[in-house]
Structure 1
Amino acid sequence: MKLYIFACLCSLILWGVSCDEESVGIPTGSLFLGIEEDATLLTKAESAVTNESLRVDIIAAEGDTIKSYSDYIDEVKGKKIVLPVGTYTISVKSNQSEEAGWEKPFYSGSKEITIQSGEITSVQIVCKILNTKVAVEYADNLADYFSRYETTVSNTSGSLLYTRDETRAGFFKAEKLTADLKLVNQDGNEFAMQRVFPDIKERYFYKIKYSLDDGGGDNEEAGADFGGIIVDEKADTIYYGIFIKQEDLFGKSVPKLALDGFAENKIVYKKTENPSVPEHSLTIEAPNGIKQLKVETTSFQFADIPSFDLCNLTDAARTRLQQLGFPIQEVKGKQKLTFVLTDFAKALDPASATQMATHTFTFSVLDNLHQETTVQFIYEIRPNVNVTTEEPVVWAKFVTLRGNSIDRDNIGFMFKKKADTDFQRYDATIYNEQTGDFSLLLIENIMPGTEYEYYAVSGTDAQGDVKTFTTSPIVNLKNNTFDEWFKNGKTWFPNVDVSKWWDSGNTGANTAGENNPTSPEESVVVKGKAAKLQSTWIGFIGIGAFASASMFTGNFVDIDGTNGILSFGQPFTAKPTKLTGYYKYTPVNIDYMEQWDSKVDPDLKSGDSDQCIIYIALCTKNYEIRTNPKSRQLFDPNDASVIAYGELVAKEAVSGEEANGYKKFSIDIKYRKTDVTPSYIVVVAAASRYGDYFTGGKGSTLYIDEFNLEYDYNAASFTNE
Structure 2
Amino acid sequence: MKRLYRYLIPMLGLAAAGCSETSPSLDDATATGTLTMKVSTRSETSSAEYDPMEHLTVSICNSDGKPIRKYTSESGIPERLELLAGAYSVSVEAGEKAAASFTRRFYKGEEPFTVTPGANTPVEVTCTLQNSVVEAVFDETIAENFGSEFEVRVMPGASYDESRADAASTLRYTENAAGYFTLDEGVDALSWRFSGTHASKGAVEKSGTIPEVRTPGKYTLTFRYSPDLPGFIEAVAILVDDDTDDFDDTIIWSPDPTIEGDGFEISETQRYLGGEKRFLITTVKPTTAATLTFDGKPYDLLAAVSTPTAGLAVVKTAENALTVTLSDDFFTGCPGGDHALRIEATDNGGGNGSAECIFALQGVLAPSAADYDLWANTVTLRARVFDPSVTTVTFGLRTKNGSWQELPGTNAGSETWTATFSPEWTESSNESGLTVFTPKAGTGVRADGEYECRAMFGERESLASFATAGGQSIPGGDMEDGTMSCFTINNQTTPFWGSGNNNYMSAIIGDQLTRLCTQQEKCGSKCALLASQTAAGLLAAGNLFSGTFVKPSTQGTVGFGKDYDWQARPRALRLKYHATIGTVDMTKYTDASGNHPIAAGQPDRAIIYVAIVDWDAPHNVSSGMSAPSGMWDPSTATSQAEGPVIGYGRFVIKESTAGDEMVDKELEIFYYDRVTKPSKPCKIVISCSANMYGDYMNGCSTNRLYIDDFQWVY
**Rg larger in 1 or in 2?**
2
Query: Could you say whether these structures have the same fold, taking a TM-score greater than 0.5 normalized by the shorter chain as the test?
Result: no
- Taking structure 2 as the reference length, the TM-score comes to 0.34
- Taking structure 1 as the reference length, the TM-score comes to 0.34
